[in-house]
């Protein structure tokens, strides 16, 4: 029983680290998208904008770029929100596992 709980705690800790790294990456992407959006909004409407597609660049109207950036940013923020919920669940699982292990050892020591 203790071994199963310990395994659960270790697994939860690993997943916590992965989720935190993923959140940090997505937050960085959100900042990049917001910065790019700010820069694109400052351009004139007739300015030619190019987007990278694989190894080439394709012309894209400024408003299309802004729309894509806005939708990508919203999607990233939604992902971050979901990851925050998952992180909370994993942290609770890890905490509860540790508490159960402590209880087992304390009750066994009596």
For residue range 67-99, list pLDDT tens digits in order.
999 999 999 999 999 999 999 999 999 999 899
pTM: 0.83
Determine the Cα–Cα distance for residues 89 and 71; give it in Å rounded to an integer. Answer: 27
Is residue 62 within 8 Å of residue 50, measured between CB atoms? no
List the beta bridge partners of residue 100. none
- Please write the tens of the pLDDT for every residue from 16-44: 999 999 999 999 999 999 999 999 999 98
pLDDT on residue 109: 54
Is residue 59 within 8 Å of residue 50, measured between CB atoms? yes
57-84 burial, b for 16+ CB within 10 Å, e for fewer? eeebebeebbeebeebbeebeeebeebe
pLDDT on residue 105: 83
């Amino acid at each position: 029983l203790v071994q199963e709980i310990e395994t659960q705690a270790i697994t939860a800790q690993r997943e916590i680290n992965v989720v935190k790294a993923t959140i940090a990456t997505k937050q960085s992407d959100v900042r990049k998208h917001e910065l790019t959006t700010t820069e694109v909004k400052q351009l004139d409407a007739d300015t030619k904008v190019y987007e990278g597609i694989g190894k080439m660049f394709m012309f894209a109207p400024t408003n299309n770029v802004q729309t894509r950036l806005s939708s990508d940013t919203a999607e990233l923020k939604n992902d971050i929100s979901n990851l925050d919920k998952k992180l909370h669940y994993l942290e609770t699982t890890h905490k509860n596992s540790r508490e159960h292990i402590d209880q087992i050892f304390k009750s066994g020591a009596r």
